[in-house]
Chains A and B, each alone.
Chain A
Amino acid sequence: NAGVMQNPRHLVRRRGQEARLRCSPMKGHSHVYWYRQLPEEGLKFMVYLQKENIIDESGMPKERFSAEFPKEGPSILRIQQVVRGDSAAYFCASSSTANTGELFFGEGSRLTVL
């Protein structure tokens, strides 16, 4: 079992560019969660998705951020027109159902905005 796979691990963008972060959940998992971690801070919930559905996006900024989890392929977190404040580690986690409890995290994607 390969675990939760995230790529790229490191991404550098200039202000105004777009960032796309990908997450493949663990095999058999259909629930995906994205979290953002600023340096020296905790994990902030952004969005929870199931296949083809956004279940809870209460933690997503209203503008420039979007997420999807298509029927085929990985979940994508997309940040348009990046600003320096978007620099952070973005962690994806997955679970097999909504009620089992444990979330399995990927290694994270570290976005640096110049």
Chain B
Amino acid sequence: GENVEQHPSTLSVQEGDSAVIKCTYSDSASNYFPWYKQELGKRPQLIIDIRSNVGEKKDQRIAVTLNKTAKHFSLHITETQPEDSAVYFCAASKLTGANNLFFGTGTRLTVIP
């Protein structure tokens, strides 16, 4: 099955700085890579996703890059704000048949005001 690794496990940045979280996956058939944000005690919520037919996607301060050859993808948050503090999970799946998401172990991001 798919194995997704994520690091770092914790990340602290000063407000206004950038944050980068990296993930690798094992199954070359995976073609969908979402990122979820989970605030303390809350549900995971999708913040951005990328499919294997593109290498980069951006949405305001958030961007994701994908390198299919190397089987890794990254989340970039620019101009971080205190409300960005949360746990971020990367995931991978195959959008054919079953859409089971396999999650990384999470990164706890703390933005220091």
Return the CB mask of A39-73 against B: 1 if under 8 Å, else 0: 00111110010000001101100000000000000
Provide the residues of chain A in CB contact with B6, threshold 8 Å.
42
Closest-CB distance, B74 to chain A (whole angstroms): 17
Residues B95 and A55 in contact, CB atoms below 8 Å apart:
no
Chain B contributes a number of interface residues (CB within 8 A of A) equal to 26
Residues B1 and A58 in contact, CB atoms below 8 Å apart:
yes
Residues A42 and B43 in contact, CB atoms below 8 Å apart:
no
Chain A contributes a number of interface residues (CB within 8 A of B) equal to 26
Given A42-B106, A91-B43, A105-B45: A48 and B100 interface contact (C-beta under 8 Å): yes
A-B contact pairs, 29 of them (CB 8 A): A31-B99, A33-B99, A33-B100, A42-B103, A43-B44, A43-B89, A43-B101, A45-B100, A45-B101, A48-B100, A55-B98, A58-B1, A91-B43, A91-B44, A93-B101, A95-B99, A98-B95, A98-B96, A98-B97, A98-B98, A99-B96, A101-B32, A102-B34, A102-B49, A103-B34, A103-B46, A105-B44, A105-B45, A107-B43
